[in-house]
């Protein structure tokens, strides 16, 4: 009588053997790749015209590829006029097939069969491959829409849960899919935005020249000359206080929000949506609000600023005149922003 532990071990072994074919299942085979030999130019000048079957026969002999013809192609009486010299085998074959509305199915590395290009033949004989692509950054639905617009013959199945696309198509179609994914499945650049909220006397902001700079025309490069110098003058003024100096990092195209908690001067909210242009400049869409601290006998309304500004990478922009504490106190708020692009590392 076998020991109980022996029966358990045998059962585990049987279970492992039963599962082993599944665990060791070979991956799906890729279609064969045609590997013709280098061709000599002799006998490949058909500019005077030659029967299709003769052209394909001589082309196959030159490239070391066995070319078989489907019955409908073999019965076709067609003349080909082309000079196939100085062309690689694949280009020469594609030229002949394109001229005669045919397509080739690769049977082995040195064998193909030629069919008439009809919807029925394409459905029945064209080699189709199923591949699944895992996307790191791009949205599967958006990529599917782009691929459907460019290659409507593809069958595409998105999986949002896995962030993947399963594509069914021929090898040329899949090469186009992979080329597109290499260009669109990339991380977006990020933008670091350094904020500074200054409170200064009305006289200090005027002495620094900020009102005059606001009315000045920018340079052709988009910069406002003298801005950094004026801001430094304001920071050094006796009545200027820095209320907050946060920074935030956000993906280009998304919105970053910074809320400065209640200070003795009030509450502040800054929302910034950066957009990076192809030339490297940025557009910053701003939505700012300043709510002064309410006095017991007076309500102070919220001051809003909604605008957009285009700046260079690393350039400073400033907005002033956000009144703090009411007109009687003659205080200005100045919002200073500097945006720096952070490019994703190459994959």
pLDDT in tens, 249-279: 999 999 999 988 766 667 888 999 999 998 9
pLDDT(347) > 70:
no
Give buried/exposed letters for 289-321 (b at 16+ CB in 10 A, else e): bbbbeeeeeeebeebeeeeebebeeebbbbbbe
CATH 3.30.1370.120 intervals, the chain: 129-184
pLDDT in tens, 302-334: 778 888 888 899 888 888 765 555 554 567 788
Q: Taking Cα atoms as reference points, which of 103, 101, 130, 122 lies closest to residue 31?
A: 130
CATH 3.55.50.30 intervals, the chain: 45-125
Q: Taking Cα atoms as reference points, which of 62, 54, 105, 43 lies closest to residue 80?
A: 54
Predicted pLDDT of residue 31: 77
pLDDT in tens, 136-165: 988 999 999 999 999 998 999 999 999 999
Does residue 66 contact residue 111 with C-beta atoms inside 8 Å?
A: yes
Q: CA dist 62 to 36, 109, 257, 259, 262, Å?
A: 9, 15, 68, 74, 83
Does residue 20 contact residue 13 with C-beta atoms inside 8 Å?
A: no
pLDDT in tens, 42-92: 789 999 999 999 999 999 999 999 999 999 999 888 999 999 988 999 999
Does residue 81 contact residue 69 with C-beta atoms inside 8 Å?
A: no
Which ranges of the chain does DSSP label H, i.e. alpha helix? Answer: 4-23, 52-63, 71-74, 89-99, 119-125, 140-150, 171-184, 202-208, 210-215, 227-236
Predicted pLDDT of residue 268: 84
- The rounded distance, in Å, linking the Cα atoms of 217 and 261 is 35
Instruction: Please check whether the domain covering 45-125 is classified as CATH 3.40.50.2300.
Output: no
pLDDT(195) > 60:
yes
pLDDT(215) > 60:
no
Q: CA dist 111 to 64, 100, 126, 204, Å?
A: 9, 20, 15, 85
What are the phi and psi torsion angles at 93 (to 5°)?
-65, -45
Instruction: Please check whether the domain covering 129-184 is classified as CATH 3.30.1370.120.
Output: yes
- The rounded distance, in Å, linking the Cα atoms of 172 and 151 is 11
């Amino acid at each position: 009588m076998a020991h109980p532990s022996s029966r358990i071990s045998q059962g585990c072994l049987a279970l492992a053997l039963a599962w082993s074919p599944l665990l060791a299942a070979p991956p799906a085979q890729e279609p064969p790749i045609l590997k013709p030999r280098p061709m000599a130019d002799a006998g490949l000048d058909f500019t005077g015209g030659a029967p299709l079957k003769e052209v394909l026969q001589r082309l196959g002999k030159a490239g070391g590829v066995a070319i078989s013809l489907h019955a409908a192609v073999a019965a076709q009486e067609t003349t080909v006029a082309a000079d196939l010299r100085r062309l690689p085998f694949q280009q020469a074959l594609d030229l002949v097939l394109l001229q005669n509305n045919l397509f080739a199915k690769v049977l082995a590395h040195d064998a193909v069969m030629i069919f008439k290009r009809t919807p029925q033949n394409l459905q029945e004989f064209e080699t189709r491959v199923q591949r699944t692509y895992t996307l790191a950054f791009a949205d599967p639905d958006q990529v599917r829409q782009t691929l459907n617009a460019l290659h409507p013959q593809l069958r595409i199945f998105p999986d949002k849960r896995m962030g993947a696309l399963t594509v069914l198509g021929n090898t040329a179609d899949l090469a186009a899919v992979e080329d597109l994914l290499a260009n669109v499945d990339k991380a977006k650049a990020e933008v670091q935005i350094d904020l500074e909220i200054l409170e200064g006397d009305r006289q200090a902001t005027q002495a620094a020249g900020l009102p005059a700079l606001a009315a000045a025309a920018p340079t052709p490069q988009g910069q406002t000359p003298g801005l950094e110098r004026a801001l430094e003058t304001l920071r050094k003024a006796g009545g200027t206080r820095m209320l907050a100096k946060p920074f935030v990092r956000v993906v280009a195209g998304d919105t970053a929000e910074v809320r400065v908690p209640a200070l003795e001067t009030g509450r502040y909210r800054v929302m910034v949506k950066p957009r990076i242009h192809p030339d490297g400049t940025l557009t910053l869409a701003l939505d700012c609000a300043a709510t002064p601290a309410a006095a017991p006998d007076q309500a102070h309304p919220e001051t809003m600023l909604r605008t957009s500004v285009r700046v260079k990478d690393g350039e400073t922009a400033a907005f002033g005149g956000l009144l703090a504490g009411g007109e009687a106190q003659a205080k200005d708020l100045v919002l200073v922003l500097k945006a720096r692009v952070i490019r994703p590392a190459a994959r």
